[in-house]
Amino acid sequence: MARVCDITGKSSQVGGGYSNRTRATKFNPTGKRRRLVNLQKKTVFVPELNRKVTITVSAKGLKIMKKKGAFQTLKAAGLIK
């Protein structure tokens, strides 16, 4: 299973690492590092369906769900019908 948010579609990114020693000496690379998204596995009760749904969601996705409501957000993401 890929590390992807079910709501926002966020996944990990690859970016350059940069140490303080590198800044001090003006010498170049430290290599790449993978920046992982903040994923949580949550079980959410959806009153409209009268059941629980387990999703892998980022912290940003949880904020969206809190704002718009669980049913509306999951329906827009295509996780429920």
Provide the CATH number for the domain around residue 72. 2.30.170
Q: Judge if pTM exceeds 0.75.
A: no
Residue 4 counted as domain residue: no
Looking at residue 41, its pLDDT comes to 94
* pLDDT 10s digits, 39-57: 999 999 999 999 999 999 9
Q: Tell me, what's the pLDDT at 33?
A: 83
Residue 38, in any domain of the structure: yes
Asked if the model's pLDDT at residue 30 lies above 80, the reply is: no
Shortest CA distance to 3 belongs to which of 52, 57, 64, 42?
57
Indicate whether 3 belongs to any domain: no
Number of domains in the chain: 1
Residue 7 forms part of a structural domain = no
Is 90 exceeded by the pLDDT of residue 27? no
Does 35 map to a domain?
Answer: yes
CA-based angle 77:52:38, to the nearest 5?
55
Residue 18 identity: Y
| Token pair recorded at residue 2 | 């890929």
Q: Is residue 1 part of a domain?
A: no
Predicted confidence band of residue 31 (pLDDT cuts 50, 70, 90) = confident
